[in-house]
Amino acid sequence: MLERTATELGRAIAAGKAHPVELLEAQLAAIDAHPLAARIYARTTPQRARAEAMAAAGRARAGLRKGLLDGVPLSWKDLFDSAGVATEAGSALLKGRVPAADAEVLARATQAGLVCLGKTHMSELAFSGLGLNPVTGTPPCINDPGVVPGGSSSGAAASVAFGLAPAAIGSDTGGSVRIPAAWNDLVGLKTTAGALPLTGVVPLCARFDTVGPIARSVEDCAELLGVLTGAPAPDLRGETLAGKRLLVLETVALDDLRPAPGAAFDRAMARLIAAGARVQTVTAPEVAEAMGLAATLFTSEAYGQWRDVIEAAPEKMFPRILDRFRSGADVLATDYLAGWRRLEALRGIWADRVAGADAVILPTSVILPPDANRLMTDDAYYVTENLLALRNTRIGNLLGLCALTLPAGEPSCGISLMGLPGTEARLLRLGAAAEQALR
């Protein structure tokens, strides 16, 4: 039962084949018994979860379920506020921080009947794509105990991959949903900035921060998107790849592509073509220019957000994350504003270039998960791998897109589909068809 998708569990509850309280107790028991659970969950919320599961069971008995996922457990990245429960964003700087109210997206999920299992570990203040966090805990990767899981929604992905949650909610500022999803053979959705509210979400870069699900299927992500938006979930039925126009992004996205992710991407592309997709390549100079703005825009906003807290106790931080924040200290306000003006123009050029395409595709990551021990001892290796981990995913954040990563068929390799802003429903329908082809 614990290996089933969130939507499968929802249907089992509806059919009377699963009981929300029994399902929750089995999930909590699995967490308690798992030898790696302490590296995945920062804290669980059993009292809250049991009350929510009992309420869901009562609705099921009365025929008053709120939706397909009513009664299904869910884990939450530890930057979503939870009333009366610590939310520390993977940082000793926020140790003991206990919010008074739930984040708006958590409140929406609770209103829809989902059950809060607890809070998962993450990269410190969400500022790394590796998932390495020697301060509060580095979660494991499902495919190799010696490598990092991807970040910053590292525990979120691990909770699903290790069977300790049916699905998870993470955040994505530069790839933080998609990288851990890809490296743990899961599906991850990056929503368009502004599509979901950030009220009660510990910020990193507010203009880039987004909320998104990590799950075992595209259908799970679609249903969770519906829960979090409060709108009907996209209807995925009947979609096909036949005649769909997919553009392979050549600019930047295929640079430094290592053998295993490259071979997995090629095989995945062959499957999509065999399913009827029409594939072309596209070069886009605006992508390279946008990538050149990343350091100015991301680091300055992140440091501006956290400077006072960081500099009050810098010794509490992992030095490499501290250095990354401080790299934004010298960015001029004039450069930041000019960078945003130029980025907005580049977004328009991109939209014109890809108009008419159903999606743009690229490898989710050009590297496999790096070795955790070497990251702690080899500075050059850390810098190179951290930058490459998020290189491809950052394209979607800079261009303001929505994006979906799917398992490419090889361990820790993903293929991403990117759509124009606000086209999540269309992207998920396409993703459901691609998922079938890739399987």
Convert the pLDDT of each residue in 366-380 to its tens digit: 999 999 999 999 999
End-to-end distance of the chain based on CA atoms, in angstroms?
A: 21
User: Which of these CATH numbers, 3.90.1300.10, 3.40.1350.10, 3.30.1540.20, 3.90.1150.10, describes 245-293+318-432?
Assistant: 3.90.1300.10
Annotated active-site positions, please? Answer: 77, 152, 176
Please give the average per-residue pLDDT across 35-63, as a whole number: 98
Kindly state the average pLDDT of the residues 324-333.
97
Instruction: Give the Cα separation of 106 and 86 in Å (integer).
Output: 14
Would the pLDDT of 2 be above 90? no
Average pLDDT over all residues of the chain: 98
Helix axes 104-111, 218-229, angle to 10 degrees: 100
pTM for this entry = 0.98
Q: Which helix (H) or strand (E) holds 290?
A: helix 285-291
Bridge partners (DSSP) listed for residue 281:
248
Average pLDDT over residues 288-293: 98
Whether the domain at 6-229 and the domain at 245-293+318-432 fall into the same CATH topology:
yes
Whether residue 58 has pLDDT greater than 90: yes
What is the mean pLDDT of the segment spanning 226-236? 97
Phi, psi dihedral angles at 404 (to 5 degrees): -135, 125
CB 181 within 8 A of CB 159: no
Q: Look at the domain 6-229 and name its fold.
A: Amidase signature (AS) enzymes (3.90.1300)
Name the pLDDT band for 81 (thresholds 50, 70, 90).
Answer: very high
20: which residues sit within 8 A by CB, 6+ positions away? 13, 53, 54, 56, 57, 60, 70, 71, 72, 115
Mean pLDDT of 202-229: 98
Strands 359-363 and 414-419: antiparallel
Question: What is the pLDDT averaged over residues 16-43?
Answer: 98
Query: What number is the average pLDDT over the span 340-349?
Result: 98
Q: If you average pLDDT over residues 241-269, what whole number do you get?
A: 98
Per the CB < 8 A criterion, the answer to whether 220 and 165 are in contact is no
1, pLDDT greater than 90: no
Write down the domain spans for the chain: 6-229, 245-293+318-432
pLDDT tens-digit readout, 115-143? 999 999 999 999 999 999 999 999 999 99
